[in-house]
Amino acid sequence: MKLPRLRVAATAIALVLVAGPALSQTPMDDPLDARDAKRVDRMEKVVRELRSIVFQMKDTGKPVVVQPADTDARMQELANRVGDLEQSLTRINGALDSTAHELDEARKANAELAAQIKALNDRLAAAEQKAAAPAAPAAPAVDDADVPPPKASASDAFSKARELMLAGDYDGAESAFGAYVHDYPDGARTPEARYWWGKTLTAKGDNARAASAYIGAIRGWPKTGWAPDAVAELARSLVALKKPDDACAALGELHKRYPKAPAAVTARATTTSRQAKCAG
């Protein structure tokens, strides 16, 4: 069935080929317009395709599948569509990138806002706790009469005690020197204060406390003007306490520690030695 059709087609092509030169040699009075020119182009294209079919059939002897004449147009249309799709994809990708960037920025803003809200909540909680905490009780008012007078300096306290002793107020001097020894146990003049404190106690006949005061005064055997007299007064207190041996031991140290003691002190020490019946 295909061969008669092909023969007809071949015959038509031959006629066209024969008539073609004749037609091309026929003069035309008017030039072709654009539409006619397109029609001629299509006819020539069809002729070329038919010629190709004929020669292909002649060479191979196989049936020929005729492709539509507008294949190139369709291919171009498909290419255009593909180009449009690529442009659309490009625009979509750009929009997606922009959306992703905006989403990241929104997340960062949300995180910062959450941090600010947390800080504000912490501050509010702290303020509420502070407001709820009970107020500290006010300090009780202090009457000026209840405030003790400022404590005198060590120098002032020593001077005040000496003034009382020189004035003959042995009770007051005894209390003042005793307070000085209590308040300034490691003071520079505390040993001397102990010596004068012992003097006031001797004057009052309190020999036991006087002996204790003298012992504290001469501890370490200080090289001072009052130290020899303190040893002599200690020996006298020990004799009064019925401790002659201890008195003699103190007098022995007096001559050894203070060989240049004043004459008045040496004379009093000699008298006390006789009273204690010290040897030699």
Residues 201 and 231 both lie in one domain: yes
Give how many domains the chain has, as a whole number.
3
Distance CA 179, CA 277 (A): 37
111 with 185, same domain: the answer is: no
**Residue 154: is its pLDDT beyond 50?**
yes
For residue 261, the 8-state DSSP code is -
Contact 234, 252 (CB under 8 A): no
pTM: 0.48
Mean of pLDDT values over 62-71: 58
Closest CA to 14 of 49, 65, 50: 50
Is pLDDT at 256 greater than 90 in this prediction? yes
Q: Which domain holds residue 43?
A: 2-26+34-69
Domain assignment present for 10: yes
The pLDDT of residue 165 is above 50:
yes
**Confidence grade of residue 77 (pLDDT, cut at 50, 70, 90):** confident
Same domain (yes/no): 178, 256: yes
Average pLDDT of the residues in 25-38: 60
236 lies in the same domain as 185 = yes
pLDDT at 37 (0 to 100):
76
Give which of 211, 226, 158, 165 is closest to 187, Cα–Cα: 158
Residue 32's pLDDT is: 53
pLDDT higher than threshold 70 for residue 173: yes
**Pair (209, 228) in one structural domain:** yes
Domain identity same for 161 and 253 = yes
Q: Pick the residue with more confidence: 178 or 10?
A: 178
Residue 6 above 50 pLDDT?
no
Q: Are 244 and 259 members of one domain?
A: yes
Distance between CA atoms of residues 33 and 193, nearest Å: 146
- Average of per-residue pLDDT across 28-57: 71
Domain with residue 158: its CATH number is 1.25.40.10
Whole-number Cα distances in Å, 218 to 4, 229, 230, 242, 246: 160, 10, 7, 21, 15
The answer to the question of residue 40 being in a domain is yes
For residue 29 the two structure tokens come to: 């009075």
217: pLDDT strictly greater than 80: yes
Query: In 3-state terms, the chain is what percent helix, strand and coil (to 5)?
Result: 75, 0, 25
The answer to whether residues 43 and 101 belong to one domain is no
- Do 93 and 180 fall within a single domain? no
Q: Tell how far CA 205 is from the center of its chain.
A: 71
Query: Domain boundary residue among 82, 116, 131?
Result: 131
Residue 19 has pLDDT above 50, yes or no: no
Report the chain's mean pLDDT, rounded to a whole number. 77
Please tell me the distance from the alpha carbon of residue 223 to that of residue 257, in angstroms, as a whole number: 9
